Amino acid sequence: MAYEVTLITGDGTGPELAEAARKCVDATGVEINWDVQEAGIDVMEKTGTPIPDSTIESVRRTRCALKAPITTPVGTGFRSINVYLRQELGLFACIRPCKYYPGVRSYFSEVGVDIVIVRENTEDLYAGVEFEKGKPETEKLIDFINGLPSDRKIKTKADETGVSIKPISVSGTERIVRCAFEYAQKNGRKKVTAVHKANIMKYSDGLYLATATEVAKDYPDIEFEERIVDNMCMQLVQKPELYDVIVLPNLYGDILSDLGAGLVGGLGVAPGANIGPEGAVFEATHGSAPKYKGQNKVNPTALILSGMLMLQHMGELDAAKRLEQAVADVIKEGKDVTYDLKPNRDDPTAVGTQEMAAAICAKLQG
């Protein structure tokens, strides 16, 4: 029986990448009925919204989507299409593996980095609870805070001060930390590291750390440790081989995801999965790179590996393993790869997006 999957083609280089990833997933032999949907700047010009209702409804129906990169329109009132999708669909966990594949250029090629970032998606500063400078509601909020019986005051005036609220809850933290531990158990991982800034933000990050520590007691087979976020950044650069699964609140998770991608060669090889109780959306970590639109030039690896994560989520573990191995083999051979995967980016033997995808398909079918 075929799986029902929404394919969101995105904009910029998104449609090219979606085509490449779809071909590679299909080449595994797993039967999928793709419901192709649009989102982004291109569809906004036609419908007035970058996320049509039909796209959201498709994902609600299929409960699974492979999403190509999308550009967030500037100056239109849309904060972030990606954030909107996560919040609208209840995708509370962002899982981003950062794994080195031989053949990718990286300063850490000898280390064999293989870490997984588990990022909370719904709370923290990305919850979007913000107040703009000069607005009456901002002045009212500042007056309220300054009127509380506390020595913590906002000392600048409302006409020059913006305020963002950072909510961290017990339930939200429990949910994401359990997700990290369960991922570790399911995938044979040995350690979970909780990242925070509890030494400064004692009532938000402090709550996060205390809750994570309690949850960890339910998983005695998995080692647990905690790290302050600035120290964690240094640790990852100095000795990334010491880390396995790393669980973080929203903002730190966003930042360390890019750091982790940098360790293994960049965003071009960084896949991602957004998971919730009602479904999942799989996407590359990188953006839509509109300047390369239509040039058949960009690296499709991140979205293809996101398709691999989707197959894992479906329980098609053999197909996922074969797809990842095919990607790894093509990268290691270094022949049919895009310009950014060549030792010299001006190498005339570099192939295009679709040609690299075709080489991966050939590995799968050979």
- Catalytic residues, by residue number, are 126, 197, 230, 254
CA 324 and chain centroid, separation:
18
Output the CA torsion 348→354→360→366 (10° steps): -100
Half-sphere exposure of 13 (CA within 13 A, CB side): 23
- Reference 126, options 254, 233, 273, 285; nearest CA is 254
- Is residue 300 within 8 Å of 361, Cβ to Cβ? no
Q: How far apart are CA 270 and CA 329, in angstroms?
A: 17
Determine the Cα–Cα distance for residues 351 and 146; give it in Å rounded to an integer: 60
Report whether 68 contacts 14 (CB < 8 A): yes
> What angle is formed at CA 178 by the lines to CA 259 and CA 282, rounded to 5 degrees?
55
